Structure 1
Amino acid sequence: MLQQQQLPEQLQNQPLWIKHKRPILLLLGLSLCAAILGLIFYTHYKLHTKNNNQPVTPCVSPACRKASARLSTSIDPFTQPCDYFLFTCGSDTLWQDSGSRQRGQGIPGHPQNQMEKSAWPGRVPENEEKLQRRRGKDKTLNRKTVLLQHLKEILESNDMLNSSAVQKAKGFYHSCLDTSSLENTGAEPFLTLVQKLGGWAVSGKWNRTDFNSTLRLLMRDYATFPFFNLYVGKDPNEIGQKTTKRYIQIDQPDLLIPIEWNSKTQKSEAKTETLRPFLASCQRYLAMLGAPPSNRMIHVGLFISLSSELAVAASPLHYRLVKGQLHQRMTIKELQEQAPAIDWLGCLQATFHPLSLSEDDHVLLHNLPYIAQMSRIITKWLNKHETSTSGPLHTFMVLSLLHTMMPAMDSRFSDTRRNFSVILGNTDQEAPRWKHCVLETERGFGSVLTHLLSERTAQREAEETIQNVFSTFKAKLHELNWMDQKTHQLVMEKIHSFTPRLWTSEEISRGAELDLTFSEVTVSTHSFFSNYVQLLSLWQKRRSKLLTDPSEPADIMSVTPVLLGKDIVFPVGMFIPPLFHSTYPRAMNYGAAGFLITKDIIHLLLPEILSHSETMRAVGKCVWDHYLTVTDGAGRGSVSRLSAAQQQELWLQYFALQVALQAYQQSLRQRPGDSSLSGLSHTHLFLTAFSQINCDTDPYWEFMPLEPSFLITVICAKTNLCPTSLQCSLRPQQSSVQTC
């Protein structure tokens, strides 16, 4: 009884926490659960956003400081989304567009010059607004322009440890920039050159040199081909045989007189409305060369008459293609029989000296009817004027040489040519002098510039980016819904058969080799004309090397990959600032160069792929619907249907952006951590870098129905991917944004 009485007293004397143990334990349990849930949520949040919002280490290298300054002057799609939706290529980017030169261009009359214009027959821009917008792309971050500016920086750098060949290349470039010396010397250097050819009848001092002797001299020493064009290339009929053999190729010339094609008569003819201004420009050339006024008219008249006869024999590429006149193979002996007025073996031996050529060697003709008619015209003019003092054939060759040498002469000559070009309707703005000088330096010292560019390229980082992008690209293709398994398998087998790689230094000449190659070149500091004459000789040596060297030479001006066998070879010109740099945050490198790599790979390996996958068509339609929903077609009104080519290009660029972003995220998983610029998160910086190059020009731009910058808004439709939501619409009522 006593124990029972003491129990309540003990309970009353217990600590308070024991009395309320159960509710306290319950509270502690709930708190622990909340902490665990909070930790799980925090961990999930950090994992999900670590690539987007975590504090980043700023990149402070010199290259990054330049990049940061450039980004600060451009539109940010995340702070000015409405402005960005209205952005059109050429309106707010930073670089002057360049006249791009592909492999083979720069060689007058190279077929690629004409082929590029007709490579996509039937293309017509959808409306004049888009055409004008594209024509206005004079300030876009263009790959070719970026490369030219980078080469300019290299040529203007003060590196005291330069090799002899590098010093000569830089000396040539700086002599080209010295326009004051050109103005002071005037036409005198050219007139001295003409005297080496025996003078000419216009000046009253002509030694009546032999026609073929003069032609050989022009071809050998001055890369001038007045009556036909000459270059080196492969026979497309042998490409399937995997041969490396190249042939001398002979084509019709780029005549100085303007001509047009008459579709009714199926003949070319001189443009009558331009004959008077052409006559005036020719007279001005003769006046600047010191020709007496009494002689000018007769010589110009004979020159125009001869030019008109040759023009009738020429024909455009599309006509020759239909007639099967391209790549006609024959021996030099057979060519001599077809066109006897030209000493073909002698001229070709002089041009390709010291190579040994025989009359049994094959050449490829691209307009045999013109070559045969040209021979008859020359024979007629030789017979008609060989006893006279007028020498019209010699004058024709001298004026052809004048146009070859004009880049190294005073501004009066280039101004005359430009004024006549404006009369013909060419309104293109003249390129700055530095750009002209970079291109001229590349013509003669291309191997030196390739060496310098290769030295400055972060090859390890470039190779890593290429491999990561290509690996992600292959994995991404597996995710698509293909029409049938067989097509899917064939596509993947094709993709896996290729190996992507950088054009490495092993394929590029080293400094000692270059010094030996250019050992006989002497560069004058203040005589660009004499330097230019040597350049023409160097150009000829490069042409001769192409004929015998089975390897594919690195093209310094290339900015897109090429296929060499089963290798996808990426030129080093794709991996230069501001597109790529070893010290850049990887977000920048993948956002710019990574996107371009992916886009180029798809265009190179998978043409016309839209019909093979349901995903491609569905995604292309989704992106386009998103565009119409947000922007109301940007003034397109009721236009809502896309052609198959447009739908494919739209999917392709969106897919390329996805691949580049996924490759970057994979890179972060493999190697966590990345620096940044201006405090931007990783994804923000990636998309900002993409926005700087999305207006890049390629052969497929006409098929892109909207500015690629808009693809950022489609990417950001995915939850939590972008740092901020892009909310902007040109329509009063915006439908919900779908994920593509």
Structure 2
Amino acid sequence: MSETPVEHELSVQPSSQPESGRGLQPPPLFQLPLTTQEPSVPRQPAQFQLDVQLSNLEHQHQAKPVWINHRRLLFLLFGFSLCCAILGLVYYMHYNRQHSNIQTGKATPCLSSACQWASAHLSISPDPFTQPCDYFLSTCGSDILSPDNVGRQMGPGIPGHPQNHKEKAVWTERRGQSKEREDRGLRKEKIPDRKTALLQYLREILESNDRPGSTAVQKAKRFYHSCLDTKSMDTAGAEPFLALIHKLGGWAVSGQWNRTDFNSTLSLLMRDYATFPFFNLYVGKDPNEIARGTTKRYIQIDQPDLLIPIEWNSKTLKSEAKTQTLRPFLASCESYLALLGAPPGSSMIHVGTFTSLSSELAAAAAPLHYRQSKGQLYQRMTIRELQNRAPAIDWLGCLQAAFHPLPLVEDDLVLLHNSPYIVRMSLIIGKWLNRHELSNSGPVHTYMVLYLLHTLMPALGSRFSETAKNLSVALGNNEGVSRHRQSLLYFEMTPVSWCVKSRGPLHQVADRWKHCVLETERGFDLVLSHLVSKRTAHSEAEEIIQNIFSSFKSKLHELKWTDQKSLRFVMKKVQSLIPRLWTTKEISSEAELDLLFSKVTVGTNSFFSNYVQLLSLWQKRRIKLLTEKAEAADILSLTPFLLGDELLFPMGMFIPPLFHPTYPRAMNYGVMGFLIAKDILHLVLPDIYSQSEMVQAVGECVWAHYLTVTDKAGRGGALCLSAAQQQEVWVQYSALQIALQAYHQSLKNHPSDTSISGLSHTRLFLTSFSQVHCVSDPYSEVMPLEPSFLITAICAKSDLCPTSLQCPNTTQLHSLQTC
């Protein structure tokens, strides 16, 4: 009986110990007195339990130090996991904040000077999201739509249009609001078109007060400022030109003429004054060789810029001078001779012979379309063959003078653009040179002198320009004869009408500074190209070019093609293109510019002598173009073009206010991205239009949106679009989609973007696009609706626009389908 309590104690006590005491204190059994009993007695079960407990305790004591070591490792693992969790939480919060910013439009405001200008402009410009009704009605700015000047008419039935008399009251109220914005300076802040923006940018460069810089830069700026000094030109009058005539041997009009040789005088005019009275000279490639990748350029000879006004008779297929136009022409000739000091009694005979010779030469000329139909463009022959056809001109001597010091020989090839004119011109000159009764009056020499006067007219005083203006008004052109800048590259890329006059008097450009910028670029194009290249944000421009082109290729895959073969055909052509920024590679330093222009002397108050040197520079540029294989960057180029497998984007596209590296990307993509995409689509439009039905479908869909929103569809105002109109609607709508897709992709790759006026990213993109939708382009005449309306079609897909774009006076947009 005495063993029972012991057994009970052994079985209960271990379980009664607190959990925390295990392993820290010895169990109570170790405190019991030892006995001397034999192991065979009934106490054996208790002994076995004791042995088990002792064995367990022994194992616990052995495991204790190992656990402590593992506990340190666990602490390290726990700390590392905690740090990872904290970093993950920070990243998650940062990503959510960025994602939220993208969705809500919250972004860091752009505070650069360019962005401040843009913000001020946006604050006074119509907003398509806050003023949708006015925005639907705008036609390139509210100042153009007025009862007296309705701009491009959009057709009957547009709500609020001045032609709709029922809504005249609404128009009057809105016109009053426009007047308020106008009073705050809206007109002054209007974003200019691409050409004006580029000229303003060049003007800023020429008028900047930067450090002195290179001597070539200083010469370009002095030339520009001397061009602006019209007072000095008026003071000089005709004296500079009379001195030049004396240098050329005089003329019969003044009574002092040393009877210079005809071909010698012609060579001097071509070499030193870039003047071509009887034919024009250009440099360019043969389009028949371009497809084979040939880079060779040729001297190209064409009919001259005609001085006398003529008309083309489609029945007789001849050019004719009308009596009603000859009278003011004769009057202007008399005025020019009077300004040059001709005796009143003797001027009539010179005017008469000049007019008669001009008429005969003009009658031999023909317009471009006729010459194209007769295959008279790019006719190839050697200089020797040309000499045999038109012997009155010393072709080899004249061409050697014009392209000195190039070693031209009789076997060199030239390209003719009107061989019948060249032959007829030679006969006319030979006849007039052999008229002995007129030998004392020198009619051919007088013709060359007056043609030189036409070349140098921009450098003479206001009395000469007023005479030209009077002739222009008499011919029915109240704004003056259009002056066209002749780009050598343009002549090389496109057959143009050679009948259009290239140079003109001072009054023919509305703003004198524009005229002077253009003239400065003619002679100092390399200087301006270098300066623009230094200011151009090359990396930003390249980035937007590549992104827009990538989005453009994606757009092609989304189109519905007639078959897979058509898609492969277009994609093969597109994939072969290499888009890049077209920059100048000719000049790498200002020291090279200084050396190139070292022989040019530019005064500050003698624009005539400066202009004469400009003509020499212009002729040297023509010589250089004949020898070089690479294309010289044209600073005044405004649209991309294809050159072999390269898609070149001129630097002149990427200038403020249309593009700036500090602008938010939303603004750059909404403006320049759209323009780039539109230009690309126009380049490849023939292939797409012929291989895809989407052009017509999308054009009709957007047009249906327009009819619905402007409430014309329900009033019988629906009109069918022509093929050209469908194409242009598709081009501009697709360009906007391409630019928006490219911008969203850029946000995925680089989530951060600044903002202006607190506008969300997409809203800033579309609002920026709305500010330049009226940028002039050659396709504006076939666009049946204002490009600004494309925002309405884009926003028909609700998740693309930050707010609803609805006008309460029109059909709700939720009924429209996405195009």
Measured against the shorter chain, the TM-score band is 0.7 to 0.9
CA contact (8 A) 2:798 2:804 kept: no
Q: Which amino acid aligns with 1:361?
A: D
Q: CA deviation at 1:414?
A: 1.1
* 2:225 maps to 1:146: no
Q: CA deviation at 1:616?
A: 3.3
Higher relative contact order (CA 8 A, sep 6+): 1
Q: Could you state the TM-score of these two structures normalised by the residue count of structure 1?
A: 0.86
Q: CA deviation at 1:93?
A: 8.5
Q: CA deviation at 1:46?
A: 7.6
Match of 1:325 among 376, 381, 405: 376
* 2:491 maps to 1:440: no
Aligned equivalents of 1:128, 1:93: Cα separation in 2: 18
Q: Which amino acid aligns with 2:653?
A: M
- Residues 299-338 of structure 1 aligned to structure 2 (within 5 Å): 299-338=350-389
- Residues 679-690 of structure 1 aligned to structure 2 (within 5 Å): 679-690=758-769
Match of 1:594 among 669, 673, 676: 673
Q: Which amino acid aligns with 1:340?
A: P
Match of residue 583 from structure 2: 504
CA contact (8 A) 2:546 2:579 kept: yes
Question: Measured at CA, do residues 385 and 59 of structure 1 come closer, stay the same or move farther in structure 2, by a change above 3 Å?
Answer: farther
CA contact (8 A) 1:385 1:392 kept: no
Match of 1:604 among 676, 683, 687: 683
Q: CA deviation at 1:388?
A: 2.9
Question: Measured at CA, do residues 89 and 175 of structure 1 come closer, stay the same or move farther in structure 2, by a change above 3 Å?
Answer: same
* 2:129 maps to 1:86: no
Match of 1:670 among 749, 759, 768: 749
Aligned length: 666
- Residues 146-545 of structure 1 aligned to structure 2 (within 5 Å): 146-385=197-436, 388-428=439-479, 430-506=509-585, 508-545=587-624
* 2:717 maps to 1:625: no
* 2:104 maps to 1:53: yes
Deviation digits for residues 111-145 of structure 1 (CA, Å, limit 9, x no counterpart): xxxxxxxxxxxxx9998999xx9xxx998731111
CA contact (8 A) 1:630 1:729 kept: no
Aligned equivalents of 2:153, 2:368: Cα separation in 1: 22
Question: Measured at CA, do residues 126 and 728 of structure 1 come closer, stay the same or move farther in structure 2, by a change above 3 Å?
Answer: closer
Q: CA deviation at 1:156?
A: 0.7
Q: Which amino acid aligns with 1:706?
A: L
Aligned equivalents of 2:814, 2:119: Cα separation in 1: 36
Q: CA deviation at 1:426?
A: 2.0
Q: Which amino acid aligns with 1:728?
A: C
Deviation digits for residues 460-486 of structure 1 (CA, Å, limit 9, x no counterpart): 111111111111221222122222111
Aligned equivalents of 1:632, 1:296: Cα separation in 2: 67
Q: Which amino acid aligns with 1:247?
A: Y
The structure number with the bigger radius of gyration is 2
Question: Measured at CA, do residues 481 and 263 of structure 1 come closer, stay the same or move farther in structure 2, by a change above 3 Å?
Answer: closer
Match of residue 695 from structure 2: 616
Match of residue 504 from structure 2: none
Question: Measured at CA, do residues 506 and 79 of structure 1 come closer, stay the same or move farther in structure 2, by a change above 3 Å?
Answer: same
Match of residue 800 from structure 2: 721
Q: Which amino acid aligns with 2:635?
A: I
Match of residue 38 from structure 1: none
Match of residue 486 from structure 2: none
Deviation digits for residues 474-523 of structure 1 (CA, Å, limit 9, x no counterpart): 12221222221111122122211111111235455532221111110011
* 2:611 maps to 1:560: no
CA contact (8 A) 1:617 1:648 kept: yes
The alignment yields a C-alpha RMSD, in angstroms, of: 2.7
Match of residue 693 from structure 1: 772
Q: CA deviation at 1:723?
A: 2.8
Match of residue 722 from structure 2: 643
Q: CA deviation at 1:729?
A: 6.2
Q: CA deviation at 1:537?
A: 0.1
Question: Measured at CA, do residues 417 and 371 of structure 1 come closer, stay the same or move farther in structure 2, by a change above 3 Å?
Answer: same
Q: CA deviation at 1:607?
A: 2.1
CA contact (8 A) 2:191 2:657 kept: no
Q: CA deviation at 1:297?
A: 1.0
Aligned equivalents of 1:485, 1:91: Cα separation in 2: 47
* Identity in percent: 71
Q: CA deviation at 1:86?
A: 1.0
Match of 2:737 among 658, 680, 683: 658
Q: CA deviation at 1:530?
A: 0.5
Aligned equivalents of 2:671, 2:569: Cα separation in 1: 30
Question: Measured at CA, do residues 725 and 522 of structure 1 come closer, stay the same or move farther in structure 2, by a change above 3 Å?
Answer: same
Q: Which amino acid aligns with 1:677?
A: I
Question: Measured at CA, do residues 471 and 321 of structure 1 come closer, stay the same or move farther in structure 2, by a change above 3 Å?
Answer: same
CA contact (8 A) 1:63 1:584 kept: yes
What secondary structure is seen at the aligned counterpart in 2 of 1:250? strand
Aligned equivalents of 1:340, 1:128: Cα separation in 2: 62
CA contact (8 A) 2:541 2:581 kept: yes
Deviation digits for residues 578-618 of structure 1 (CA, Å, limit 9, x no counterpart): 11111111111101111111111111134252342343333
Aligned equivalents of 2:144, 2:120: Cα separation in 1: 13
Aligned equivalents of 1:541, 1:435: Cα separation in 2: 24
Q: CA deviation at 1:247?
A: 0.7
Q: Which amino acid aligns with 1:474?
A: K
Match of 2:630 among 518, 535, 551: 551
CA contact (8 A) 2:157 2:717 kept: no
Aligned equivalents of 2:288, 2:605: Cα separation in 1: 48
Deviation digits for residues 292-321 of structure 1 (CA, Å, limit 9, x no counterpart): 111111110111011111111111111111
CA contact (8 A) 1:141 1:692 kept: no
Structure 1: unaligned runs, 5 residues or longer: 1-41, 95-123
Deviation digits for residues 143-190 of structure 1 (CA, Å, limit 9, x no counterpart): 111111111111111111421111111111111111111111111101
CA contact (8 A) 1:187 1:409 kept: yes
Aligned equivalents of 2:311, 2:584: Cα separation in 1: 46
Match of residue 27 from structure 1: none
Aligned equivalents of 1:558, 1:160: Cα separation in 2: 28
Aligned equivalents of 1:542, 1:68: Cα separation in 2: 42
CA contact (8 A) 1:385 1:391 kept: no
What secondary structure is seen at the aligned counterpart in 1 of 2:524? helix
CA contact (8 A) 2:114 2:660 kept: yes
What secondary structure is seen at the aligned counterpart in 2 of 1:233? strand
Q: Which amino acid aligns with 1:70?
A: H
Aligned equivalents of 1:636, 1:448: Cα separation in 2: 59
What secondary structure is seen at the aligned counterpart in 2 of 1:329? strand
CA contact (8 A) 2:638 2:653 kept: yes
What secondary structure is seen at the aligned counterpart in 2 of 1:333? helix
